[in-house]
Structures are given as structure tokens and as C-alpha cells.
Structure 1
Amino acid sequence: MTTSNGSAAGVVLRVRLVSGDSIDVTYEDPGAEDDDALVDHVVSTLSGDSGVLRCRHGDRLLVLYARGVAVIEVAPRGAVL
């Protein structure tokens, strides 16, 4: 699941935080076989209290902690970042 330029493909997630705020982030995993496997990895990681994902919000690195996440939405075509 890599792009034509060799970089890792990713999925765009809309994350609703416990505070009620939401943010769109991109999560990439070069080892994922397809989009479904990538989403499964995100869900399994964030299902535990100690789950942490390294994501991107635009050009910024963002560390997403499971304890602050209320809902994850997967964008079918990607959100505008």
C-alpha cells in the first residue's frame, strides 16, 4: 500500500475528542496491506487506554492519545486538511 513515489499510503481520520472538538488527521503505516487493515490497526490501537498514534495534521506531527478520543470517522475521499 504505497504510492507511486514510494511513500507510505495513509487514511484520513476525523477525530472527535472527548472535549467535543474535532480534528482531521492523516495516519500512515507503510506495513499495512490495504485501507481496511490500516483502519483495523487504528481501531485496535485506540481501543486501549494506553494507545498512541503518530498522525499528521497538515505539515505538523500530532500524537493522538486514546484517552482523549471519543469517536473516529474514516473519510471515504479524505478531509480537507
Structure 2
Amino acid sequence: MRQQDFPKALAEAQALVTQQPNYYYGHAYLGAIYLAMGEVTNAQTHYLRAYELFPNEQSEKDLAAVRKRLAEPQPMRLLSR
């Protein structure tokens, strides 16, 4: 996903979650988009919801990775963008 595609992808994922708020993949997709945009807190929110809706190995890994990133000191997070 190219950086200029983020607004479009975000809008599509948000529309999906609005239409189907209990659809695991919509939240997982939003988490991935927010993470790619560097919005780690928003990514955690949606990865957590995805895990709550459909606990599986991939959603557990996604959530663990974003939590690890949030635990990093602020300068490290800036370098990883």
C-alpha cells in the first residue's frame, strides 16, 4: 500500500466497520492501516477488537507486535516510521 493510498484505504475500512461492526477482518484491516500510518494507538484499538471478535494466532501476533511497539521508548518509535 502506497502512502498516498492511506486515506482511501482508511475510508473504505471505516465504512466496512460502520456497516459491519462485529466483522473481525474490518478491524484487523483498520489496525494494519493505522499501523502503516504510524498511528500505533489506533492500531492497537482495532487489533484488540479484531482479537476479541475472532481470537486466532494471527490477530494475537498483530496485537502483541503493536503492544511491543507502544512499549518502545518514544525515539525508537519515531525511527521506525
**Relative contact order, CA 8 A, sep 6+: which one is greater?**
1
User: What is the TM-score normalised by the length of structure 1?
Assistant: 0.29
The alignment's TM-score, normalised by the length of structure 2, stands at 0.29
Which protein has the bigger strand share?
A: 1
* Greater helix proportion: 2
